[in-house]
Amino acid sequence: MDDISTIEHVPKPKAILGIRHLQYLLMFSGAVVVYGMRTVLNVAIVAMLNKEEDATERNYPVYPEWQDHKNVMLSCFSWGHIWFQILAGQIAKNYGPKYYLTAAIIISSACILVIPWFAATVGYKGIIAVRVIEGAFHGVLFPSVHFLLSKWAPVWERAKWGSFVYAGQVLGNCLAMPITGMLCDTNSGWPLAFYFYGCLGMAWSLLWLLLGSNTPGSDKRISSEERKWIESGTVIAKIEIFQVEINVIFTSVPFIAIIITHCGQNWGFWTLLTEIPSFMKEILHYKNTANGVISALPYFIMWLMNLWWSPIADYIIKRKYVTLAASRKIFNSIGDNYNLRVYSWTTA
């Protein structure tokens, strides 16, 4: 990549808000909605399997006989999630993600909407099937976001707005837990949580279809001033085609270290996110609403810390207090200790 100082100077648009900010907001809200859809079952399953629930006094069924299948129902999302991500990145690069991202979220929202019906007619196997499909289509979100940020965020704003957009996933998890808990405590019960998030996903898809754009050049509403300024900070990469030796990649010590670290972080994050609501119900005996609120607290703090620590990490690098590598190691270690403290707190 060329040095930023060599980029041709283009005056920044005078308007405080532009079309690019609308795109950032759409990406952020998409992450909030998608990760809320992903999380809703983690809390709703507590009500679904509650053997103490008297279904005759409610407008929904419960399935305590599925208790032995709970972990499979929770984990099957990841079975599909892994497969579409590489393909989605290539589609975004070649064709732009607008329409296939719309279709993907519509399909995954439909999967959320039919879960109560599948539970009543097919059983737990039906829930597993639609969760696998939902996971597969959710896999297109971040490859699409990566592409969109590369086109809409100039390099001098990319860290700031990238952090804003990606923080949507944690906020989505954080909001979904108390919302789902409260909806499960209504007379309509746990099915209402799936209807709510399914409709929310459909609504976001419509907004994205109407207002989203692949690139500044494809958006008819953007001013020429804003478009030139964005493009001056995005078209700076030199394309170089070369042959990659796979054995060199998989024998690279830095590559292996990153993979191990990332797998460890994901294991801690998703294990806690998936199991905390069940722990709060089965061990600490919290009701649905309180369960959702308390289960969300670690992720609310995580969202706040993401907004707090990221600028500090950039600041100490910019001031040359530490090297880039040292900064990454320091804040990765802080993150690992955070996961350990959350685990200790939830099992105390």
What pLDDT, on a 0 to 100 scale, did the predictor assign at position 237? Answer: 46
Angle 88-198-20 from CA coordinates, rounded to 5°: 55
Q: Output the CA–CA distances (angstroms, integers) from residue 230 to 23, 89, 204, 223, in the order listed.
A: 13, 22, 25, 11
What pLDDT, on a 0 to 100 scale, did the predictor assign at position 204? Answer: 96
| Protein fold of 16-227+239-347 | Growth Hormone; Chain: A; (1.20.1250)
What are the 10-residue block averages of pLDDT along the chain, 348 residues in total?
50 80 94 92 88 63 89 86 78 84 94 94 92 90 88 78 84 88 89 95 96 89 85 61 72 85 77 75 74 74 71 71 76 59 42
Closest CA to 161 of 335, 18, 23: 23
What pLDDT, on a 0 to 100 scale, did the predictor assign at position 122? Answer: 92
Domain spans in the chain, listed from the N-terminal domain onward: 16-227+239-347
**Which residues are CB-neighbours of 287 under 8 A, at least 6 positions away?**
185
Indicate the pTM of the whole model.
Answer: 0.78
Rounded Cα gap, residues 106 and 134, in angstroms = 10
What pLDDT, on a 0 to 100 scale, did the predictor assign at position 244? Answer: 66
